[in-house]
Structure 1
């Protein structure tokens, strides 16, 4: 007997890993899951992971995304924020949904686009993942050619920058040169968990006003 996806119940914080999933099956699963869902997906060479994030995951995602937007706007940098848009390429047999992604240098290339195909479209300039638990996601972004990947976990923010097709860990962001991104993200995410989002965002705006 074959199970259908609608019969599966994945609890927040848990993952389901499926093997030997063809590209067409992956596309069918995406269509069946739909766009309005809590689950996140990651696909790489036949391995499909479906994950349902915890509430604290969503809070961190929102505050970090807001901090990035405020920073870009404060520097008058044009960008497109595509949230958890599915990033996929049948040519590279990869698919992943970031917690947040930003087109900055390539923002003009995706204006007005509701769906992306990284076989022809450029990858986002910056992708953000919260509590990275998948064993394939780092490879996904590397193969898809995402220049900069931020991962926020229990130990704080880590940044990976693409160099010669491979990710290397970096303390500095090419997107925001001269700005202590790791220190700022860690500080204001932690502050949001103590004093709330509004106070953390205002404190961050004050820091930008005084330092940038």
Structure 2
């Protein structure tokens, strides 16, 4: 048997490495060896471990989408907690995932101030975001972990999925933000950020949110 160290592996951006028959203890050891400060993402499902290196465009999109959603929550004065690509895992289910971005909304108070989360006892994020440039999204893992809402950015569109009966179903409106059509609006401002810059796009988006709030309050 040939044994190699993880530091010997070089995964090019946009590529992934699949490791089979990885036990939970091995998975935990690999996470420790990889460390927290790395550019790769992992997904673990019952012995199959994927290590993926995202492309620069992937990282750019997820940052802008995440920032726009944060701005939206601030404008509506909704308390939230973002945990980025935190490793969420459940040893009972033999599953683990690192989203591109995630939000605690309804369950924000339940995890507020916690330094470590254990999904065998703590609630999962209320919303997870995946930018699917390299076909990496693992809906079955998110569903098993009980994440109620999954956003998938593919091409120039955002598709929203709601957990229903243990599986995701595509929906036309975000269950967390009904009536806001964010999946249609946010891509417009992502595109604007790529042409005119992030700050101008953020200001324009905040202005749009405020106009909607003003229109709502006047009716």
Alignment TM class, shorter chain as reference: over 0.9
Residue 149 of structure 1 is matched in structure 2 by: 150
Runs of 4+ in 1 over 6 A off after TM superposition: none
Instruction: Please say if residues 42 and 96 of structure 1, whose CA atoms lie closer than 8 Å, have aligned partners that are also in contact.
Output: yes
TM-score (normalised: structure 2): 0.93
Gaps of 5+ in 1: none
Q: Secondary structure at the match of 2:30?
A: helix
The Cα offsets for residues 50-76 of structure 1, whole Å up to 9 and x where unpaired, read as 011111111111111111111111111
Deviations 1:111-147 (A, max 9, x none): 1222221111100000001116456711110100000
Query: Matched residues in 1 for 2:32 and 2:135: separation?
Result: 22
CA distance in 1, matches of 2:196, 2:112: 36
Tell me which residue corresponds to 2:66.
65
**Secondary structure, counterpart of 1:32 in structure 2:** helix
Determine whether 1:188 maps to 2:189: yes
C-alpha distance in structure 1 between counterparts of 2:186 and 2:65, whole Å? 7
Which residue matches 2:111?
110
Give the TM-score of the pair, scaled to structure 1. 0.96
Distance 1:106 1:69, change over 3 A: same
Shift of the alpha carbon at 1:211? 1.2
Unaligned runs of 5+ in 2: 214-219
RMSD (Å), alpha carbons: 1.2
